[in-house]
Structure 1
Amino acid sequence: MTTARSRRRPNTLDLAALLPSWEVSLRADHKSRETRKSYTTGVYQFIDWCEVNGHTPAFDRDLVRAWVADLLAGGAEPATARARQLGVRRFSAWCEEEAEVDRDPLLGLKAPKLDVKVVDSLTDDQVRALVKACAGKEFRDRRDEAIVRLMVETGMRAGEVLG
């Protein structure tokens, strides 16, 4: 038997009304705080963009592409636009899992191509100067030197050290 819920079309969903349930689901799935924040930020930004631009927020491929194009045109890094789009795509997939839509309309939607960024490594002199800046007998000096040496020796990023 087909119910009204299973016949719901992606463009008739109230995305904002479904967000709190999705956020609970993300917590129940034990997604990290940063993952939840990244996903939901993308969805909230998409909904806001739709409303500002006179569109009804919907899982529409062309609408999502236009939003991503505007993000990039507005100066967002491709990695940021990709992360925001991923949030909307994950929300769309969740709506399918919850039978809010018959099928995920954003399945297979291509993400923006990432730029390859080359970050120059510190020179030996720069590393020595950084370690020297940590010189001292205080706990924080030794801690800072240990952190700098850890990062230099392993290639860890600051977010990984702090994480």
Structure 2
Amino acid sequence: MGRTQARHARHLNPPPGLSAHIESFVLYLRSIGRGQKTVSIYREATQWFAAEYLATGGRPPVEDIAPEFTFDAVDDWERVQRKHVQGWCAHLFERGYSDSYVSNQYRALQAFFKWFAEDEEVPNPMLGMKPPKVVDKPVPVLTEDEMSALFATVTGKDFRSRRDMAIMLMLRDTGIRLQELAGLQIDDVSALEREATVTGKGRRTRTVKYSYEAARALDKYLRVRAKQPNAQLSAVWIGLKGAVTPSGIQQIVQRRAAEAGLGTLNPHKFRHYFSHTWLDRGGAEGDLMELNGWNSPMMLRRYGRSAAASRARRGYDRIMGEGQ
């Protein structure tokens, strides 16, 4: 059974001797075009490690956990050793954080120390370290019944229903990321051509296709959108307060999922659904990589693992001539 992530407040204010280099690291990340979300994750991970572990000598302010490894407080990055990073990862596991979460923290620190070592021309304390092992947990794919229940909540003709219908169909039919969907501009979409130009990670652009059903829903939404107070905005998705943000789209999906009786629904599950459906219907893996904006087949394997067993069983009947 996986660990449940603990909910402790994070201390993100390291002493000046450590914080100055973190801001320089942030500048470096921005200079090489890293996305805002990546920069934020890396910055907070490094701040957290510095403020709550290095600056306290391995004595984070968590009352229910006694530290197993303590040391003199560290106020200079050049004094950081491999054992400090290992101790921090062990501490996070003790606090109940999941293996994938600890792995993400590790990789953020790995990026920081790689930059720091090159920038200051000093040894990298994490060189040769092995990352925390992550137990693969396939994400359950939305069922057709769940999809039907979800879309049954957006059958109205009012502005919100048409907007939410178009949003969820675009998520279902393209598998694009939340940030990519929220970033769509009017000039990026063509209902007639059933295409959208999205800007993904690393500011790379690609063109995705969607179904006639999604195109019709988008067309209906754009017609009612033209009558809204914020119609002059260039963003495709708008609300009463302006352009809909990634957080706003997440709230829309969560609200519709609650109405459908599905409980909590992470919009990223649409991406898994799209990838699973593509592979299940015999779509080429290379085409899926292009549509999803992946440079590495590692992501293909990760997403393809969802419902892989059910695809294999259906493939058996198709190939071996059973179930006909």
Instruction: Give the TM-score normalised by structure 2.
Output: 0.42
1:56 aligns with 2:60: no
Aligned residue type for 2:74 = T
Instruction: Give the TM-score normalised by structure 1.
Output: 0.78
Change (3 A) 1:161 1:115: farther
Residue equivalent to 2:24: 21
Aligned residue type for 2:35 = S
Structure showing the higher helix proportion among its residues: 1
Shift of 1:133: 0.3
Q: In the aligned structure 2, how far is the partner of 1:50 from the partner of 1:104?
A: 16
Q: In the aligned structure 1, how far is the partner of 2:37 from the partner of 2:177?
A: 16
Structure showing the higher strand proportion among its residues: 2
Asked which structure has the greater CA Rg, the reply is: 2
Residue equivalent to 1:143: 163
Please give the per-residue CA displacement for 1:117-155, whole angstroms capped at 9, x wherever unaligned: 222222222211111101111232122112222333344
Q: Would the aligned equivalents of 1:93 and 1:104 in 2 still touch at CA under 8 Å?
A: yes
Give the gaps of 5 or more residues in structure 1: 1-13
Residue equivalent to 2:41: 38
Higher relative contact order (CA 8 A, sep 6+): 1
1:114 aligns with 2:118: no
1:47 aligns with 2:46: no
In terms of mean alpha carbon deviation, does 68-77 or 152-161 score higher?
152-161
Shift of 1:44: 0.8
Change (3 A) 1:40 1:22: same
CA RMSD of aligned residues (A): 2.2
1:72 counterpart SS class: helix
Residue equivalent to 1:86: 107
Aligned residue type for 1:21 = S
Q: In the aligned structure 2, how far is the partner of 1:149 from the partner of 1:20?
A: 40
Aligned residue type for 1:55 = A
Q: Would the aligned equivalents of 1:50 and 1:56 in 2 still touch at CA under 8 Å?
A: yes
